Amino acid sequence: MSAGGAPGSTAGAPNGSSGATSSGASGAGVSGVGGTAGGGAGAGTAGAANAGAAGSVGAAGSSGGAAGSAGSAGAASAGSSGMNGAAGGGACLNSGTELCDGFEGGRLDPARWVASKSGTSSVAVESGLAHSGQYAVHLKFEAGKQSTVTIAESATFGGAGPSVPETPNRFYSRMWAYFGPDIPKAPTGDFHTGFMVGSGKNDKGDCTVGMGMIGSDQQYLGYSIFFGNPKYEFGPWSNPRIKPKEWLCIELLEDGSDPKTEVRKVWLNDTEMKELESDSAKAGGSANPNHLPPAFDKVIFGVIEYHPIPTLSDMWIDDVRVSAQKIGCAN
């Protein structure tokens, strides 16, 4: 497989403003949307209201507030983070170093996101096809042309970033993704595409590492691309196939905490695709390892086509999270 040029993306601005707090529980909650506890402080920019349930005792806030007393149904927190309501309204696990965005503010928060597109491609927050709530990010590109259409966030990578102190340069990212109208299956095509990648520099230069798709059999790919001299690429192929016109929960672990190797894991709908677990130190054998891990400075979500895909023209992204801890699909 041959890779195309490095995707163009620009580092994002500092972290976004905090959302409006909700009424109900008297203690300030950790960041997230209103759920069974009656609503805490919302993380991120103000978004659509999510009604909190009545009667639950509010959890103690991350700022040190005491646990709130039980109250009546709270007005919803206005955060755009996470998914709506009690069924999926978990809070960010580590307020201040995580990103949770359901795009319910109806736009991309410029303090969090930098959009990148090529040619006639477009990026917009739209209603009509969301995984939860009202809005999702719609990436529109031209089938049959090699396109780059992405959103990237670097806000969580400043300072300590999403990594806990014991494991620096390590993060989880999760998105709900919807592809349409079709993912091709062809005996001779190469549809190598990046969907979710960490980016940064290692000892040689720019490096993107993460997961995407490999043609010609609709398979997921765990891969690393080192844009330097020499250029390396590797990636095992998955057993599951990518399904179009269906919301898919995709989670990635990128671990560069060991400066000698980059380790990757990928989950689909909360099931680990163990065949995609990768270790760059072993990719080319001990005499020729693939690369040292980059110092991660951003994570990129979207479509990075290294070869044109004849039948794929749209991707929707919703309920994105970046965290120091395992995320899963429930929150």
Q: What is the pLDDT of residue 73?
A: 37
pTM above 0.75, yes or no: no
Residues of the chain with CATH 2.60.120.200: 113-323
For residue 225, what are the β-bridge partners? 208, 233
Q: What is the CATH number of domain 113-323?
A: 2.60.120.200
Question: What share of the chain in percent tops pLDDT 70?
Answer: 62
Kindly state the tokens that stand for 193: 């595409």
Mean pLDDT, rounded, for 312-326: 95
With tokens 């909190």, the residue in question is 52
**Alpha carbon separation from 250 to 18, 45, 116, 212, 324 (Å, rounded):** 26, 24, 21, 10, 16
CB 322: neighbour CB atoms within 10 A? 28
Q: What is the pLDDT of residue 107?
A: 95
Query: Mean pLDDT across the chain, nearest whole number?
Result: 73
pLDDT in tens, 42-88: 333 333 333 333 333 333 333 334 444 443 333 333 334 334 322 23
- Asked whether residue 288 carries a pLDDT value surpassing 50, the answer given is yes
Closest CA to 223 of 274, 174, 283: 283
pLDDT in tens, 243-287: 999 999 999 999 999 888 888 899 999 999 998 887 777 765 555
State phi, psi for 181 to the nearest 5 degrees: -85, -15
Non-local (6+) Cβ contacts of 234 within 8 A are: 223, 224, 278, 280, 283, 284, 290
**Do residues 314 and 181 make contact, with C-beta atoms less than 8 angstroms apart?**
yes
Rounded distance, CA 307 to CA 225, Å? 15
CA angle 218, 219, 225 (to 5 degrees): 120
- Asked whether residue 10 carries a pLDDT value surpassing 90, the answer given is no
pLDDT in tens, 233-251: 667 889 899 999 999 999 9
Q: What is the pLDDT of residue 164?
A: 53
pLDDT band (50, 70, 90) for residue 320: very high
Mean pLDDT, rounded, for 178-202: 88
